[in-house]
A = this chain, B = another copy of it.
Amino acid sequence: MQLHNTSQYAIRVLNFFANHSDDRLYSAKELAELLSIPYKFLTKIMGILVKAEFIKSIQGREGGYELNKPASQIKLIDILNTFNDETDNESCILGVGICDGHNKCALHDQWMQPKGLLRKMFEETTLENLTSADCKL
């Protein structure tokens, strides 16, 4: 019951940019050091974030990365979906097809409430809503 490592990294990187909207670029080297993410793995993730248009990249010497859109327009769920992190609300927590009120798994009733809050968190939280000050990178 946890997020993929790549999703965690991606959220932390994007959150970093949301909190550093000074008008400059950050290189992969800098980010890797500041966020303690393996450099080579980070560059791989950055490539995905660029393709997904969360991040804009400037190539070449003095290049780097910056946010490609306002923090208020990036939802957590969009990030998770980019990395195939399971947020499919229809599928059953016990893996027994699709659950609804009439055709449900043994854990369905207990699962409804936490599932709803998780869904709310991922769908309604944007980078803008994340803790901005004094938080761990």
User: Interface of A with B (CB < 8 Å)?
Assistant: 1-3, 5, 8-9, 11-12, 15, 76, 80, 85-87, 92-97, 99, 103-111, 113-114, 117-118, 120-121, 125, 129-132, 135-137
A12–B93 CA distance with the chains assembled, in angstroms? 11
Q: Which residues of B contact A125 (CB under 8 A)?
A: 107, 110
A94–B114 CA distance with the chains assembled, in angstroms? 18
Whether B5 contacts A95 by the Cβ 8 Å rule is yes
Q: Which residues of B contact A80 (CB under 8 A)?
A: 1
Q: Which residues of B contact A94 (CB under 8 A)?
A: 3, 8, 11-12, 136
Indicate whether A121 sits within 8 Å of B111 (C-beta atoms), given known contacts A3-B93, A85-B1, A106-B12.
yes
Whether A117 contacts B113 by the Cβ 8 Å rule is yes
Interface core residue of A85, A93, A94 (most chain B CB under 10 Å): A94
Chain B minimum-CB-distance residue to A86: B2
Q: Which residues of B contact A130 (CB under 8 A)?
A: 106-107, 110
Task: State the copy count for this chain.
Answer: 2
A113–B124 CA distance with the chains assembled, in angstroms? 14
- 26 of the cross-chain contacts (CB-CB < 8 Å) are A1-B1, A1-B3, A1-B85, A2-B93, A3-B95, A5-B95, A8-B93, A9-B95, A12-B105, A15-B106, A76-B107, A92-B136, A103-B136, A104-B136, A105-B135, A106-B130, A106-B131, A109-B131, A110-B125, A110-B129, A110-B130, A111-B121, A114-B118, A114-B120, A114-B121, A118-B118
